[in-house]
Structure 1
Amino acid sequence: MQFSTVLKKMKTELSDKVQYYLTTDNNFINFNQILGRTIEINFEGYECLCCGKAKKIFRQGFCYDCFYASAAVGDWIMKPELSTAHLGIEDRDLEYEKKVQLQPHIVYLALSSNVKVGVTRKTQVPTRWIDQGASKAIEIVEVPNRYLAGITEVALKNYVADKTSWQKMLKNNVAEADLIAERDKLKSHIPEEAKSYFLENNNKVTEINYPVVNYPTKVKSLSLDKTPFYSGKLIGVKGQYLMFEDSTVFNVRNSEGYKVTITISE
């Protein structure tokens, strides 16, 4: 079977084990169904996810010009505390920023390599946790806009990590932790503006299992710029990574905007 596509992050569905889907031209691949099979990835060029031109991808699937012009990749995306739509102040496109920033956001704790704090739109739960390769997650606060979530995250990351070690996550080298206890320890550090949004009675810890046959003891990352053709046996999917028998891992999301042909064989 052969598929052509411009890579975008895999779509996911939470079930007993996360289901992973990659949309291709007029079709899709369910990676859960092809564990143990050989996959060939052939890099054929770039296509910016914003302008659609065959320009080298700079970051997040965008070419250089679009990355510094599009409202979809403003600084407030990575740093929610920089959000200003609640003040009516434009960064790049106020209408777009209102649409994204002025909606319920969740500040959460997730266990991926270690306990980390993060922010996501409420509509992106549990997708955001899956994309990070979290094995467990719990919501801390639910606020009405991105700014309040951002300042809460900034305050809490003085006491807990805000980054995941992707190598440890892929090797399943995950620390044990009681997320309810960790959440309760952070309550007093929530900024005054967000204290009333603390989810006092939320004891729901979401557990996430991934379709992985074997976890590698070491990992080496595949870059299509350096290695335009790769072939390997798929042994698992976690976060946004495809994991192969030879310890190669491929970050699909980090390769958005790359045009590829994927061939699946026995």
Structure 2
Amino acid sequence: MRYEGVLTKMRTEITDEVQYYMNWENDFINLNQILGKKISINFLKYECLNCHLEKKIFRQGFCYDCFSSIPQAGDWVINPELSKAHLDIEDRDLEFEKRSQLQPHVVYLANSSDVKVGVTRRSQIPTRWIDQGAHEAIEIVEVPNRYLAGITEVALKDYVSDKTNWRKMLTNDVLDLDLAEEREKLKAHIPEEAQEYYLASNKETEINFPVRQYPKKVKTLNLGKTPFYEGVLKGVKAQYLIFEDGTVFNVRGHEGFVIEINIGV
């Protein structure tokens, strides 16, 4: 089977085991169904996810011009504490920023490699946790806007990491922890403005990924440097494909790359 199209973040569905989908313009691949099969990936060209021109991808699937101008790539996206829509202050497009920022956001703990703190829109749970490869996660606070979530995350970063060790996550070098207990330890450090939104009773969510073989050591596939690769697919975790030879491919890191995929038997 042959597929061709521009790469975007894999879609997911949480069941007993996370279901992963690569979506193309008129088709899709359920990656769970092709575990154990040989697949080849061939890089053809770039296509910016915003302007759709054949321009080299700079970041997040966008060319440099788009990344530097569109509201979807504003600084507040990566640094939510910089959000200003609640003050009626525009960054790049106030209408877009109000839609994105002035909605319920969650600050959470996720365990992908070690415990980390993070921020996401309420509507993105559990998708955000899956994308980070978290095998367990729990909410800390649910606040009405992105700014409050951002200042809460900043305050808690003094006591817990905000980064995922992706190599440990992909080799499954992880521990199971009591995240409710970890959440309680952080309660006193939540900013006063967000204290009333503390979630004391939410239960921990457990996530199982479709991985049949974890690599002992990972080597990354960069299509910009190695435009063709072939290997046996052994698992999918976070936004990575995991192959039998230890190669891992970050799908999200290649958004905007037009590729051809061939699936063997």
TM-score band by shorter chain is over 0.9
Secondary structure of 1:184's aligned partner: helix
Task: Look up the match of 1:174.
Answer: 174
* CA deviation after TM superposition for structure 1 residue 128, in Å: 0.1
Task: Look up the match of 2:219.
Answer: 220
Task: Look up the match of 2:78.
Answer: 78
Secondary structure of 1:140's aligned partner: strand
String of CA shifts for 1:218-245, please: whole Å, max 9, x gaps. Answer: 0001000000000000000000000000
Q: How many residues align?
A: 265
Q: Which amino acid aligns with 1:220?
A: K
Any residues of structure 2 matched to 1:1-266 within 5 Å, and which? 1-202=1-202, 204-266=203-265
Secondary structure of 2:259's aligned partner: strand
Q: Which amino acid aligns with 2:45?
A: G
Secondary structure of 2:224's aligned partner: coil
Q: Distance in 2 between matches of 1:261 and 1:26?
A: 14
Q: Does the 8 Å contact 1:4/1:25 carry over to 2?
A: no
* CA deviation after TM superposition for structure 1 residue 260, in Å: 0.3
Which TM-score applies when normalising by structure 1? 0.99
Q: Distance in 2 between matches of 1:174 and 1:56?
A: 36
* CA deviation after TM superposition for structure 1 residue 24, in Å: 1.4
Q: Distance in 2 between matches of 1:135 and 1:74?
A: 30
String of CA shifts for 1:27-50, please: whole Å, max 9, x gaps. Answer: 100000000001100000000001
* CA deviation after TM superposition for structure 1 residue 177, in Å: 1.6
Structure 2 alignment gaps of length 5 or more: none
Q: Does the 8 Å contact 1:12/1:18 carry over to 2?
A: yes
Which TM-score applies when normalising by structure 2? 0.99
Secondary structure of 2:245's aligned partner: coil
Task: Provide the alpha-carbon RMSD of the alignment.
Answer: 0.5
Q: Distance in 2 between matches of 1:3 and 1:25?
A: 10
Percent of counterpart pairs with the same letter?
A: 67
Q: Which amino acid aligns with 1:235?
A: K
Which runs of at least 4 in structure 1 moved beyond 6 Å after TM superposition?
Answer: none
Q: Distance in 1 between matches of 2:262 and 2:201?
A: 49
